Structure 1
Amino acid sequence: MAVEEVSKLIELTPLISMVVLVPVAGWVFTTWLRIRHGYPLDGAWGQAIYPKTTSAELERIKLLSQENAQLRAELGSVKDRLANVERIVTDSGYHLTHEIEALRTTQGSKQ
């Protein structure tokens, strides 16, 4: 009986090895992808292993966040100013004033 059990085990060896190797290869591949694209790796208890953030990196993130907020505020003010300019230009009174000024310049050049 022992010989029959060993022969069955030898027949099942490729299946057993595939059941073990495929998940391990998948884990190695996903870990490689996470490292390649800069995602943090997690330890056994969920703590971040890689990349480790230092105080200099945290300070840089803080400065970049502040700069981002300032740029967003500036962009908002530029949008408001642009809306005012568009309103002035599309106003019918502006066209009339512009035409009057054009007539004044042409009359001034004729004299």
Structure 2
Amino acid sequence: MNPFEMVVLIVLIGSIAGVLRARYGVVRTGRGKEEVYVGTRENDAESERLRGEVRQLKDRIAVLERIVTDGDRNHGIALEREIEALRTDKEFRQ
């Protein structure tokens, strides 16, 4: 085996090991220690809840963008007036 083949083989083995670590959730934590991360139902439920919340927020942002960008110029001015009225009302309460 010549040196070039040996270098290619070492790189290939390292790459395969990295892919397998990522696949099975092995995480290095400091000086050579490795821990296996196993997803729990709590983590899955939490991440699913967060995904739903992000989905809701994206929908709300889309609605707000549509409100601001759609319509005629008069509607935009009326919207600005309503926002300013809400701001002054909030400042008045404080």
Q: Rg bigger for which structure?
A: 1
Q: Determine which structure has the larger helix proportion and give its number.
A: 1
The TM-score normalised by the length of structure 2 is 0.47
The TM-score normalised by the length of structure 1 is 0.42
